[in-house]
Chains A and B, each alone.
Chain A
């Protein structure tokens, strides 16, 4: 019973900390929808395989939110017709590449300058890799059905595969014009849309927080930190800890400070790079963006990449 009460309290702690950030993310997404209803500027973002994700990552500096707030903004980018690589670059890199997270990392580790370069660098590399891997999947297999429908409305028909079209003419020579630029929606409609989005995401957040709180209560953290000194095991255990703990990227550096002295530098970096991209709380939220197969691919690719990154850092610094 005591354990249940503790899990309930951890659940509330995670949820109450994340909900305001989710609201901020939805507010940014709704504001973008109101200010640029057709999302024309989104379609002008670079489509280049490298430049696209880099631009998306750079957007993190303009829209500082941690990972919970990032999901609704990334959804807005995708729904508005932004190039896939740009939106994915934003989704995966912006939780680290934003002023708040960089400042908190600096505040927590002022005496480890290598980390100040390695964390954003690692996050950027990881986002480029994940964007490249996920782009291998056709959009119909990658994006959640509701998001795909919305995205199709914002894309020129010529960009939609013949088998995926639900309307339009087959065999036209010149590409059909873009849909007429919609006018700015009434404020009431924007509020309604934002509210729906918040409630959908809040339900998924509840699920993620419940899983994270249960696993945390049942799994003694000392098990995960017991292998601190071993190069590979320490990276793996800290990756698992990042996935389980599910704290916000703006404060995870302070949490890492608590055990930084016990673990290898590669494991520390792995914790700080993987947590903002994949954790139990986020996996629920990702369902508004991706199909389950794509979520599994994201988790697997991020896991392998961060393990290699951590190993490499250990090789250099140990």
Chain B
């Protein structure tokens, strides 16, 4: 059972690493460590298998190994499929002090995260009115107002994911459903929101897209 349990956990780490599942779960810097740990566990399992299969008495395997092995099997069989809007709804949208931009891309090349960082560091909506916008993200419903287009920032793993979103003025009658991934082209405009002016993306062209292979941003 020991070799089997080690091999199962090794497979979990290696399969998660090779199948791209980690792109949904962890920041890229941890990926090689996870893959390498998987290989080490598989090697450990292979080294101990002959002794386990050979003659002689072996101590019984603790029950905890069986149920944790069952969890490992479940992880292998059921890949992660989180609802990004559900995750985002549960977290406050904050960028912190590192929101300062080190350089500025032309408006049409800015990603959604670039735009949010720019708007936080220089929050004067009139500066950006009329700028072209080409962004992509998932639909993040907002209580009492129209949904935003958002991305999740991750510093370690999904447990610390923080949403960043941009208000979008959707074409009449075209309010998208939560969690849907969209590419939006349009222009930046200014609107009044609770007595303050803010930047809003006026969507002109909306294209449904598949979830990107690396949906989390650092």
Residues of A near any B CB (own CB < 8 A):
2-3, 5-6, 8-10, 12-17, 19-20, 23, 108, 111, 188, 191-192, 194-196, 198-200, 202-204, 206, 212-213, 216-217, 220-222, 225, 245-248, 251-252, 254-255, 257-262
Determine whether B108 belongs to the interface, using a CB cutoff of 8 Å to chain A: no
Q: Is the CB of A5 within 8 A of B95?
A: no
B34-50 interface with A by 8 A CB criterion:
34, 36-37, 40-41, 44, 47-48
Within 8 Å by CB of B68, from A108, A199, A222, A248, lies: A199
Determine whether B5 belongs to the interface, using a CB cutoff of 8 Å to chain A: yes
For A248, list chain B residues within 8 Å (CB). Answer: 156
Q: Is the CB of A217 within 8 A of B90?
A: yes
For A191, list chain B residues within 8 Å (CB). Answer: 44, 47-48
When C-beta atoms are compared, the residue in chain B nearest to A251 turns out to be: B156
Q: Is the CB of B95 within 8 A of A10?
A: no
Alpha-carbon separation in the docked complex, A196 to B6 (Å): 9
User: What are 16 A-to-B residue pairs whose CB atoms are below 8 Å?
Assistant: A5-B82, A9-B25, A15-B75, A16-B12, A16-B16, A17-B25, A17-B34, A19-B37, A191-B47, A195-B6, A195-B48, A206-B68, A217-B90, A248-B156, A251-B155, A257-B96
Within 8 Å by CB of A192, from B2, B62, B67, lies: B2
Give the segment of B129-137, B157-165, B183-191, B195-203 that binds chain A. Answer: B157-165
When C-beta atoms are compared, the residue in chain A nearest to B24 turns out to be: A9
Known: A23-B41, A203-B68, A221-B91. A17 touches B26 (CB 8 A): yes
Determine whether B11 belongs to the interface, using a CB cutoff of 8 Å to chain A: no
Alpha-carbon separation in the docked complex, A75 to B102 (Å): 46
When C-beta atoms are compared, the residue in chain A nearest to B43 turns out to be: A191
Within 8 Å by CB of B83, from A2, A203, A220, lies: A2
Main secondary structure of the interface of A (DSSP, over half): helix
Q: Is the CB of A259 within 8 A of B82?
A: no
Q: Is the CB of A258 within 8 A of B94?
A: yes
Alpha-carbon separation in the docked complex, A136 to B123 (Å): 56
Q: Is the CB of A202 within 8 A of B68?
A: yes
In the complex, what's the smallest C-beta–C-beta distance from A287 to chain B, in angstroms? 10
Alpha-carbon separation in the docked complex, A246 to B156 (Å): 11
Q: Is the CB of A5 within 8 A of B159?
A: no
For A17, list chain B residues within 8 Å (CB). Answer: 25-26, 30, 34, 156-157
Known: A20-B13, A20-B36, A261-B96. A8 touches B78 (CB 8 A): yes
For B25, list chain A residues within 8 Å (CB). Answer: 9, 12-13, 16-17
Alpha-carbon separation in the docked complex, A245 to B156 (Å): 11
